[in-house]
Amino acid sequence: MTCPPVPHGAPLPHLRTRPPGDIRVYGLFIPTPEKRPRSPRSDPCAQARFPQTIHASITWLARGIRHRPRPLWVSVTELISKIRGGGMPRSLMKSNRFGLLLRLLLLSNPAVTLHAAPLYAVGVLAHDRGPFSDRHEDGVDLNVEIQFVPLSIIPYSVRPHLGTTLNFNGDTSAAYGGLSWRLYDTPRGFLDGIVSLAVHDGPLSKDKQGCKTRSDCGFGVRMLPRLGMEIGYRITSGRSMGLFYDHMSHKWVIGGENEGIDHIGLRYRQAF
């Protein structure tokens, strides 16, 4: 017998039309059991048409990508907002054949948060206390920070931030700016990584003998790399409490004296 060829540029019929009773899944149509194409055992032409069908389906996908009305990156913000709201833009459903895959990737990533509003954080921190601290300074510091909306051009939830840590005992205070990276997120908690640069008012150098014998050194430079992390618990959707830690040091980056300093404590965060 002669098997009819698959039309060029056309995928499987059940991907182009929506027969009554079929289920729509983000631009694709899943036929009901009674409408599914016959299996190769019952359809002698199915095996012969298989290579043509694969080629036609790939051509169809490529054509949909080439003729979509706007680049995918332009629609990232709209797409994420629609996904968080439980839907997808109709224009993307019609034009982007990879919308389902993108949705699954976004929803399976725990770093895609439900809260994209700017927020502020206020904390009380132990000064020069932590796993890498020499404890040559003392006091209780006030930390104030603002985190802006996440950057849409960077994967995951990355927020620019500006803040300051103030010491009231006459020791080192600092102002900083950088990025907070959402490493893990759940409805009740989160984990953030922190990378920034800090400008401080501490001494750049101290007695060399004391630096050698007691590790009581100066900071060496005025601007220091700052790394940290925060483990938080959500009280409500817009408020949370977190255990916060940061470390300022230029070890392995710049030579010379390097005192380094740690801060550890609790912070309260609230969205605007």
The model's pTM is 0.56
CATH number 3.30.1150.10 is the correct assignment for the domain at 119-271: no
Can you say how many angstroms the Cα of residue 42 is from the centroid of all Cα atoms in its chain?
A: 49
Q: How far apart are CA 165 and CA 264, in angstroms?
A: 11
Tens-digit pLDDT profile for residues 48-106: 655 555 555 556 555 554 444 444 444 455 655 555 555 555 554 444 554 555 454 44
Provide the token pair at 265.
């404590």
Question: Tell me, what's the pLDDT at 223?
Answer: 94
Q: Which tops the pLDDT comparison, 44 or 161?
A: 161
Strand-pairing partners, residue 265, are 125, 244
The mean-pLDDT minimum among 11-25, 40-54, 171-185 falls in: 11-25
Question: Tell me, what's the pLDDT at 27?
Answer: 41
Question: Tell me, what's the pLDDT at 141?
Answer: 96
Q: Do 127 and 141 touch, CB atoms closer than 8 A?
A: yes
Can you say how many angstroms the Cα of residue 15 is from the centroid of all Cα atoms in its chain?
A: 33
Question: Tell me, what's the pLDDT at 164?
Answer: 97
Q: Which residues contact 27 (CB under 8 A, 6 or more apart)?
A: 93, 94, 96, 97, 99, 100
* pLDDT over 70 at 140, yes or no: yes
Q: How far apart are CA 94 and CA 12, in angstroms?
A: 17
What are the start and end residues of each CATH 2.40.160.20 domain in the chain?
A: 119-271
Residue 206, burial from CB neighbour count under 10 angstroms (0-12, 13-18, 19+): middle
How confident is the prediction for the chain on average, in pLDDT?
73
Provide the token pair at 126.
């132990």
Tens-digit pLDDT profile for residues 194-239: 999 999 999 888 877 777 777 778 888 999 999 999 999 999 989 9
Provide the token pair at 158.
């990355």
| Nearest residue to 190 via CA among 80, 112, 83 | 112
